[in-house]
Structure 1
């Protein structure tokens, strides 16, 4: 196997970046970037810690993050599985990266920066939904923001309903868990999961 090990060798293969690839990177939100981020209900949050990397899906009604100002985003940490992998990383290494998707759009937004975890009561209650609020909020300071080349989304054709997988052809969550632990009760898990998820969404 021939392996690339230096930046110089990579540049020899890929050449120079285009002007558009360079000028699209800004250190704060432009009005256009703001519109794209406000339209996104889903993102992937990447974090790094001393012993592990993590990439966590995040979704919400409407916009997945709230724009506080041109250089600050707030991401509520709604109920999940309590592994808190992302949060454990952030308290030890504040570097974060966000990739935001907008359903129907081939444009992907990227944000790199640093984050803190806030439990300020006023901030928590400002995200209240159905009488519930997140236990913490990830506050992201933007270091750089830009949009990603659309080719990946276009190649994947991910918004085309004709390309959607039939869920019945895929393993259920219970099946995945049973594959990890042979005596896991997958039938009861799959039967109870939809109702449990609906009751613990927020």
Structure 2
């Protein structure tokens, strides 16, 4: 292995960004960013703890689930999960977060970096109700940087091309759980748990 150990060496390998890429970062939302958020049902939330150990957590709801309070403040509701709250624990130790918003079928993404706070209630929680579920927690992000990311990764991966999808190539969620997480449970019980009724419990 040949390791890169300096900024100078890295720049020698990849070069410098052009002016457009170097200066595209903005400190506040544009109307086009608001449009993107209104149509995005999914984002990835990157956090790190006080020692720099990282976590990336997917968040998803109907399109427009991220509430825009103003040009520099957004809110992401929390929904029922496995209660590990890895990202929230990180935010309590280190408020810096990075977000990547996806619109299905689009090859570009919206990226937002900022500082987060964990809220247990606020008047706008009533605006975050989905399927009768009012979140017990929400992540408020004070925006420091916002910019759109180019399509190359999505194009290279052919992510949205259905003919490239082969979900059966990997083990089922039930089998993964049986092998790695819940060896004491039967595969039949896990298949029932992750079966059609699983979607009925998303907000329960």
Partner of 1:152: 153
Provide the aligned C-alpha RMSD in A. Answer: 1.6
**Could you tell me whether the CA contact under 8 Å between 1:174 and 1:190 is conserved in 2?**
yes
Distance 1:177 1:60, change over 3 A: same
Number of residue pairs matched by the alignment: 201
Alpha-carbon distance in structure 2 between the residues aligned to 1:38 and 1:15:
35
Is 1:200 aligned with 2:202? yes
Distance 1:178 1:128, change over 3 A: same
Shifted more, 104-113 versus 182-191: the winner is: 182-191
Q: Could you state the TM-score of these two structures normalised by the residue count of structure 1?
A: 0.92
1:9-88 equivalence runs, <5 A: 9-50=9-50, 52-88=53-89
Superposition deviation, residue 121 in structure 1? 4.3
Local SS of the residue matching 2:194:
helix
Shifted more, 173-182 versus 93-102: the winner is: 173-182
Partner of 1:3: 3
Q: Tell me the alpha carbon deviations over residues 16-36 of structure 1, each in whole angstroms, 9 at most, x when there is no partner.
A: 111121222101011222212
Alpha-carbon distance in structure 2 between the residues aligned to 1:101 and 1:200:
20
Local SS of the residue matching 2:25:
coil
Alpha-carbon distance in structure 2 between the residues aligned to 1:158 and 1:196:
25
Is 1:116 aligned with 2:109? no
Alpha-carbon distance in structure 1 between the residues aligned to 2:23 and 2:35:
19
Superposition deviation, residue 164 in structure 1? 1.6
Superposition deviation, residue 162 in structure 1? 1.1
**Could you tell me whether the CA contact under 8 Å between 2:40 and 2:104 is conserved in 1?**
yes
Alpha-carbon distance in structure 1 between the residues aligned to 2:170 and 2:188:
15
Alpha-carbon distance in structure 2 between the residues aligned to 1:73 and 1:146:
15
Q: Which runs of 5+ in 1 are unaligned?
A: none
Superposition deviation, residue 183 in structure 1? 3.5
Distance 1:32 1:121, change over 3 A: closer
Alpha-carbon distance in structure 2 between the residues aligned to 1:44 and 1:168:
24
Is 1:174 aligned with 2:196? no
Q: Which runs of 5+ in 2 are unaligned?
A: none
Superposition deviation, residue 169 in structure 1? 3.5
Alpha-carbon distance in structure 1 between the residues aligned to 2:132 and 2:88:
24
